[in-house]
A and B are shown apart, each in its own frame.
Chain A
Amino acid sequence: MIELRNVTYAYPDTHAPVLRNLQLQVEEGEFLLVIGASGSGKSTLLRCANGLVPHFYGGTFRGSVCVADHNPVREGPRGMSAVVGFVFQDPESQFVVDSVEDELAFAMENHNLDQTVMRKRVEEVLDQLNISHLRHRKINTLSGGEKQRVAIGAVLTLQPSVLVLDEPTSQLDPQAAEEVLTTLQKLNSDMGLTIVLSEHRLERVVQYADRILYLPGNGEKPLIDTPQEVLRQVELTPPLISLSKELDWQPLPLTIKEGRRFARQLRLPPPADHLPGDLRCAQGDLKSPIINIQDLWFSYNGHEALRDVNLSVMQGEFVALMGRNGSGKTTLLKHVVGLLRPGRGRVELWGENTRGKDTEDIARRVGYVPQNPSSLLFADTLRDELNFTRRSHGLDTGDYDALLRSLHLEDHVDAYPRDLSGGERQRAAMAAILVVDPDIILLDEPTRGLDYYQKRALADFLSGKQDEGKSIIMSTHDVELVAQCADRVVIMGEGQIVVDGPARSVMSRSMVFSSQINKLFHDERLLTMDDVLLMVER
């Protein structure tokens, strides 16, 4: 179905090719998963399938590509549009018209299809993807998951032979990602559609894939084999796989169900020991809170975003803020830094009410890293970016080696911030906020679009900050990251705090908020791989 032979490609104005002598063969009806760190050439490879590389991007291309007896290099993306359906990463910026039904028809209109054919196909796609209830909706009223499913529908109307998706869930929360991936699995198994998908969240998708292609980046030789085989050789994998490799479980389990079989046989000491995580919390309680939120209410446009929120955070505490989209996490964080002001109630920092204080002053000691790093970066170099923040706060500029090294950005100090990759940009934004060394760090969904490497780097960085005595509140959907580094979990729902407790007790035996390892053992003592390994050694 897809065949790449000796493909070498370099973007314009670069020396090193992104793809070097790549060979790939995808069978009809196959579900191929493409993995690899950010910048390893996943997107580039996918774009070879419909000719966006090299037609849209230019650069030098060698080798040959053949997709369903078409040649994308010769026919270009327009010619390939009926053969390859391509879905992009960002659900916000790939829609052309305003309503769902018209969006579905757009590609067919471009291909001058007959009106009766169009009507039939629109109906079919609406049913196939289970989105017929959305047909009259406007695109901008849809949720992220609904948008991505409409985007899939919009390319399926041309009845392509191959569906190619470039990290379609990286901007979505777990529930929405689940919706999209289930849809893909159904298309693959019910209709035999060939699917090529690049994805960071292996734990959700690895069981659907027939084969995995691993791109190590830097032009090194890629790896393509069955999921078990590839995951065995790849370094960073989901916790379940990593643990299985450590304990040498064979054959490698891909789902919790498969893993449970091995977990049951593992001999663990009876649950009598003191829990290591609770110790830290107990220490925190002795001090007075540095953030104290009392009876906080806030509403905008008649919608109550926060309802009677009470929260206090100690110095050195790491709090994870979880909950559905729209449950008030961001609104709460913005109240701490003073971007929003309480409708009722009060926010106290170090015992002082923030009412009447400028956001700019609060921000000197409270660092808030917003969700979208692109809204922050504007300067010519990363150094200028950091200087700008220091100067705005009336501080001297200095050298930032230590900070940048801890964020793995030391090589990029003179780079143009917008040229950085997604994960690097995220860290650059973080550097630009944390350069004034605030005592409280607020993070809004910092793991969106990050791969395993970058997540681990982020976890290490935050743990380091916590050891320095900083207090951290992080809003996130990422259960594994929370299991790794948070002491305390606050779960919000409809503007209220639903649960507030130590990470270990909140995160075990929960349907949504349990980590993979916890689901595997059903044991409060075990949240992460390290917990298990420690206990096994004992």
Chain B
Amino acid sequence: MYHTTTWLLWLIAALLPAMLTRNPLYLIILLLAVAVAYNTIGRLSPVVDSWRLFLKAGLILASFSILFNTLTVHYGETVLFTLPRFTLRIGQVTFLDLGGRITLEALTFGLVSGLSLIVILLIFATFNVLVDHHQLLRSTPAFMYQTAMIASIAIAFVPQMVASLQDIREAQAIRGHRFRGLRDLLPLFVPLLTSGLERAIQLAESMEARGFGSEASPQTGRRRLLHRILIPVALFGLLAGVFWYSYYSSSRWVGALVMLGSLGTLLANLVTIGRGVRRSRYRRELWRRRDTIVSAASMVAIVVIGGFWLLNTEALLFYPYPRVSLPSFNPLIGLVLMATVTPVLTAPQMRNKTDD
């Protein structure tokens, strides 16, 4: 329905605020927007059931966060009630400190953290439902096409393995095989492994007979050596840059510069490798006007949220300690968060299911 790139931008536009803000008002807006997107577009997807799984996982994680925070954090001025205290201490170190003062602030903090966990999981769930996985794998950059191919073959392998395990179990049951201990795993495991290997060999043969692998560029030895040296160097530089940036706050610009330089080298390397891959693509996704609209909205959201984070971090934060107060609300941020609903607004009529 939308271009894969559009969905990727949408994912970033939704995830960025979900990770940066702790303000419950913004989180609730985001939650509603994502839920609307799922409800109107996502329901048409074949993997729609996975959403519920994500939601369940989110709720479980959130309840842990709430319980743990309320019971173990004793800061905050608004005491709700007091429970008997239980501490586990070994020597000087306290391992567990349960009960005691139960404060409204700790409860609030737990609630907000739980909420942000749920929102993040739901964003992934919705993305998972909306995007076409094989299309996503196909749109990996050229230098990674072999990795993407392996991933998509692996996805196809799993259901086949499950089916053959079922066959094997039945076949061994007929021979009177009963499962009593680890030793009895062998009659199940060996046929599974060998039939998987046989299948893999045949697949390899079939791929080779259709020219797979001939696209690897006939790079000169020196070029390849250069790539092999430059990529690890760039990765190391990136790491060093991050390190410098975080630990030498007086000269952060050095760290930022090293990061940027390394990142540039890395990208340049990958692009040249990708150029060398002589392989064309059959699928060309259509970029429609609605893709432009959704992508533009997502870009605006990313820029605005990113700008706030860099220039005015307080606007995004909400900290209930020492005394809980109402969270602030910036209308611009609220508006920008609504960008995550644009796919719903520009989507074609729902009845028109054949439209892709």
Interface of A toward B, CB cutoff 8 Å: 50, 52, 56, 77-82, 84, 86, 88, 90, 92-99, 101-102, 105-115, 118-119, 122, 140, 154-155, 158, 334, 337, 339, 359-360, 363-364, 367-368, 370, 372, 374-378, 388-389, 392-394, 418, 432-433, 436
Contact = CB atoms under 8 A, between A and B. Distances in A.
Given A370-B171, A374-B198, 18 more contacts: A52-B205, A81-B214, A96-B210, A98-B156, A102-B283, A109-B281, A110-B212, A112-B278, A334-B170, A339-B170, A363-B173, A364-B176, A374-B191, A375-B167, A375-B171, A392-B176, A393-B175, A432-B175
Contacts of B209: 50, 52, 77, 80-81, 84, 86, 155
Nearest to B176: A392
A392 B177 contact: yes
B282 A94 contact: no
A432 B207 CA distance: 35
B97 interface: no
Contacts of B187: 378, 388
A111 to B, nearest CB: 5
B175 A363 contact: yes
B140 to A, nearest CB: 14
A97 B211 contact: no
Contacts of A50: 209
B107 to A, nearest CB: 46
A22 B114 CA distance: 74
B284 interface: yes
Range class of the B interface residue count: 35 or more
B159 interface: yes
Contacts of B149: 96
Interface string B179-201: 00000001101110011001100
A393 B205 contact: no
A118 B280 contact: yes
A527 B194 CA distance: 41
A93 B199 contact: yes
B280 A376 contact: no
A110 B279 contact: yes
A109 B282 contact: yes
29 contacts: A56-B204, A56-B205, A81-B209, A81-B211, A84-B209, A86-B206, A88-B202, A88-B206, A93-B199, A94-B203, A95-B203, A105-B282, A107-B210, A111-B214, A113-B280, A115-B284, A119-B282, A158-B210, A339-B174, A360-B177, A363-B176, A364-B176, A372-B167, A375-B167, A375-B171, A376-B172, A378-B186, A378-B189, A389-B175
B178 interface: yes
B160 interface: yes
Contacts of A376: 168, 171-172, 175, 191
Contacts of A97: 134, 152
A57 to B, nearest CB: 9
Contacts of A99: 134
B164 A375 contact: yes
Contacts, number: 170
B282 A108 contact: yes
B171 A110 contact: no
Contact of B176 (A56, A81, A360): A360
B208 interface: yes
Interface in B201-259: 202-215
B214 A78 contact: yes
A392 B281 CA distance: 54
Interface of B: 134, 149, 152-153, 155-156, 159-160, 164, 167-168, 170-178, 186-187, 189-191, 194-195, 198-199, 202-215, 278-284
Residue of B159, B168, B176 most packed against chain A (CB within 10 A): B176
B164 A112 contact: no
A78 B203 contact: no
Contact of B211 (A98, A102, A111, A119): A111
Contacts of B177: 360, 388, 392
Nearest to B195: A374
B159 A140 contact: yes
Contacts of A95: 156, 203, 206
A154 B212 CA distance: 13
A98 B277 CA distance: 23
A96 B280 contact: no
Contacts of A109: 279-282
Nearest to B168: A375
A102 B210 CA distance: 13
Contact of B173 (A90, A102, A140, A339): A339
Nearest to B206: A94
A113 B215 CA distance: 11
A417 B149 CA distance: 33
B178 to A, nearest CB: 6
A522 B160 CA distance: 45
A77 B212 CA distance: 10
Given A52-B209, A110-B214, A375-B168, A102 B156 contact: no
A362 to B, nearest CB: 9
A86 B83 CA distance: 75
Given A98-B152, A108-B282, A376-B172, A155 B214 contact: no
Contacts of A389: 175-176
A102 B149 CA distance: 12
Contacts of A140: 156, 159
Contacts of B199: 92-93
A511 B314 CA distance: 83
Nearest to A418: B194
A370 B195 CA distance: 15
A448 B189 CA distance: 25
Contacts of B212: 78, 96, 106, 110
A359 B179 CA distance: 13
Given A374-B195, A375-B195, A418-B194, A368 B282 contact: no
Nearest to A368: B174
Contacts of B204: 56
Q: Determine which residue in A115, A376, A394, A433 has the highest number of CB atoms from chain B within 10 A of its CB, and name it.
A: A376
Given A110-B214, A388-B187, A98 B202 contact: no
Contacts of A360: 173, 176-178
A110 B156 contact: no
Contact of B191 (A56, A78, A101, A377): A377
A197 to B, nearest CB: 16
A98 B156 CA distance: 7
Contacts of A337: 174
A78, A99, A119, most chain B CB atoms within 10 A:
A78
A79 B279 contact: no
A98 B177 CA distance: 36
